[in-house]
Amino acid sequence: MKIAIVCYPTFGGSGVVATELGIALAKLNHEVHFITYKQPVRLNLLNSNIHFHEVTVPTYPLFHYQPYELALSSKLVDTIKKYKIDVLHVHYAIPHAYAGYMAKKMLEEEGIYVPMVTTLHGTDITLVGNHPFYKPAVTFSINKSDIVTSVSRSLKADTLRLFDISKDIQVVPNFIDASQRKTSFTDCQRDLMADPEERIVTHISNFRAVKRITDVVDIFYNIQKKMPAKLLMVGEGPECKPAEEKCKELGIKDKVIFFGNSNEIDKILCFSDLFLLPSERESFGLAALEAMINKVPVISTNTGGIPEVNNDGVSGYMSNVGDVDNMSENAIKILENEDRLEGFKENAYKEAMKFDIGRIIPLYIKMYESALAAV
């Protein structure tokens, strides 16, 4: 099949999932075309099965806002025609499903029919998409998609609750490619990060308010009162600076390392003992899954789709949003005992394997085939 994938190319989970999906499809000999404004960060391999088409938006002084949707739908029309694309798969409803639908309609005028699969990822539904200014367009483009998927049962329920949806929504969870994980690092250079007796606690995100970065710092503050520990903060976003300030105020600046965005997630997780994800909302929690496949237990909230990923008392623990004391207690409980920590690490890996890519990719392929058959 020839599949066009539209996604955000940045460090967010939706772009990561779209990119890993494309790479996996290409390995299975499908021809994959990424269409977005920048080469996706996890896409470092272009070959005869993986193509990248950049969407550029010419600027014009008359426009206060440059029309990305227009440029994207035009690029979709051109690419779909040129490469004879069979299926269009858009990740994140805003504005991708909207632009995809426009492209589909333009192509229909020329007698070309391309089914569109829309995957809902989270904030496109729970945070941004249901704003009254966007809601009618988001509802419309979800309902006009040929197939709609959501990354968790929780996100499906949220979508049906928040929007007037006439389409069936299929749950296809996010996935992880265990074979690609370098779990066999013999030397992950842990000693560059911490002393042997120190526990390493990690947080990875885009540092938006929804991630409750202050809670990450507070939980770590409680941990380091009980045992020698370091906190690794990976990612960039608006909450980075305030978090650095808070670490200074609390006098823990020397115990916290801010990495910025990194392409070495596996390496960082390789020397991590615990992952913190105290989010306000999380449709799935791909970062938690990435931690777990690297044998890192997860202390998280119990919001959204996280309970579908982090098994409470097995791969880590869950608490109510904002319950820093409970999350701190649970973190300390796991970290203070070597045997318990080892048990949680092994369990985290086993739980993550439930989302192995080998189980999930066939679901997408089946979906593409049925969308194609219905054309």
Which residues here bind ligand GMT, judged by CB under 6 A? Answer: 12-15, 17, 92, 121-123, 126, 151, 174, 206, 208, 210, 281-286
CB of 114 within 8 A of CB of 105? Answer: no
Which of 92, 98 has the CB closer to ligand GMT? 92
Which of 190, 208 has the CB closer to ligand GMT? 208
Q: How far is the CB of 299 from ligand GMT (least distance, A)?
A: 16
Residue with tokens 């808070």: 246
Q: How far is the CB of 12 from ligand GMT (least distance, A)?
A: 3
Which of 190, 354 has the CB closer to ligand GMT? 354
C-alpha–C-alpha distance, residues 241 and 20, integer Å: 30
Task: Please provide the DSSP assignment of 338-358 as one string.
Answer: HHHHHHHHHHHHHHHGGGBHH
C-alpha–C-alpha distance, residues 259 and 272, integer Å: 14
Q: How far is the CB of 211 from ligand GMT (least distance, A)?
A: 7
Nearest Cα neighbor of 13 from 228, 235, 217 is 235
N residues, the chain: 375
Which of 128, 137 has the CB closer to ligand GMT? 128
Nearest Cα neighbor of 281 from 227, 322, 331 is 322
Which of 303, 328 has the CB closer to ligand GMT? 303
Token pair, residue 160, equals: 């049906």
Q: How far is the CB of 194 from ligand GMT (least distance, A)?
A: 27
CB of 302 within 8 A of CB of 285? Answer: no
Which of 235, 297 has the CB closer to ligand GMT? 235
Which of 289, 335 has the CB closer to ligand GMT? 289
Q: How far is the CB of 83 from ligand GMT (least distance, A)?
A: 26
CB of 104 within 8 A of CB of 88? Answer: yes
Token pair, residue 195, equals: 């002393």
Give the orientation angle of helix 286-293 with respect to helix 13-27, to 10 degrees.
Answer: 60
Helix (H, G, I), strand (E, B) or coil at 16: helix
Q: How far is the CB of 197 from ligand GMT (least distance, A)?
A: 33
Q: How far is the CB of 124 from ligand GMT (least distance, A)?
A: 7
Q: How far is the CB of 357 from ligand GMT (least distance, A)?
A: 14
Is omega for the bond preceding 95 within 30 degrees of 0, making it cis?
yes
CB of 3 within 8 A of CB of 368? Answer: yes
Which of 14, 330 has the CB closer to ligand GMT? 14
